[in-house]
């Protein structure tokens, strides 16, 4: 079986299992490219091309099984050494590296994925100094405008050290709820 076929079969099996429990949205697929960071074991591959094929195939399998998919963790955690669930995480990759790792997200958006989850890491090379979920540079500029995503955007967990280093959970929630044209005062 090819990688895409295996991923689609796995997505379908996952959907069948989730449907048994009344779940209709899976916070998957992980579209982070496995670059050696903490997320690598959860990745669909170590190159943008591999993940761009396998991740959307998994989402297709979910859809065939009646479950929606959420592409995550935009714009990518492949280079993050620390988990955003346990600590504040800054992704030190270059802008070129991060933009290359958008390939799986472009593929998923092109395939019609309806939900994207935004990371809570900080991406200095993408001109922001706050967690991505609270950055209009990332959400509005990169995801909405550059990639043209028009559907549902959700954030990763906001009650974590990755977020609470910068904002209270309540403030982070307020900041992440914005009109597409809003610009944050604290983005870089």
Domain 3-176 grouped into CATH 1.10.10.10: no
**What gap in Å lies between CA 58 and CA 30, rounded to an integer?**
10
**What gap in Å lies between CA 127 and CA 135, rounded to an integer?**
10
**What gap in Å lies between CA 136 and CA 140, rounded to an integer?**
5
- Please return the burial class of 11, using the count of CB atoms within 10 Å of its CB with bins 0-12, 13-18 and 19+: buried
3-state secondary structure of 68: strand
Q: Say what the pTM is.
A: 0.92
Domain limits, the chain: 3-176
Question: First and final CA of the chain: distance in angstroms?
Answer: 45
Taking only the tens of pLDDT, the chain with its 188 residues reads 576 799 999 999 999 999 999 999 999 999 999 999 999 999 999 999 999 999 999 999 999 999 999 999 999 999 999 999 999 999 999 999 999 999 999 999 999 999 999 999 999 999 999 999 999 999 999 999 999 999 999 999 999 999 999 999 999 999 887 644 444 444 54
């Amino acid at each position: 079986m090819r990688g895409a076929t295996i991923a689609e079969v796995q997505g379908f099996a996952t959907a069948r299992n989730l449907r048994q429990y009344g779940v209709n949205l899976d916070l998957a697929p992980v579209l982070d490219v496995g670059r050696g960071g903490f997320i690598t074991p959860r990745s669909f591959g170590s190159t943008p091309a591999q993940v761009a094929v396998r991740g959307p195939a998994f989402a297709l399998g979910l859809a065939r099984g009646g479950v929606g998919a959420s592409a995550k963790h935009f714009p990518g955690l492949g280079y993050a050494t620390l988990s955003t669930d346990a600590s504040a995480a800054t992704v030190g990759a270059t802008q070129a590296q991060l933009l290359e790792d958008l390939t799986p997200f472009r593929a998923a958006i092109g395939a019609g994925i309806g939900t994207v989850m935004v990371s809570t890491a900080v991406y200095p090379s993408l001109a922001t100094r706050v967690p991505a979920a609270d950055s209009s540079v990332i959400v509005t500029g990169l995801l909405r405008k550059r990639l043209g995503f028009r559907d549902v955007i959700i954030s990763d967990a906001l009650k974590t050290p990755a977020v609470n280093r910068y904002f209270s959970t309540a403030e982070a929630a307020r900041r992440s709820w914005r009109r597409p044209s809003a610009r944050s005062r604290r983005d870089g």
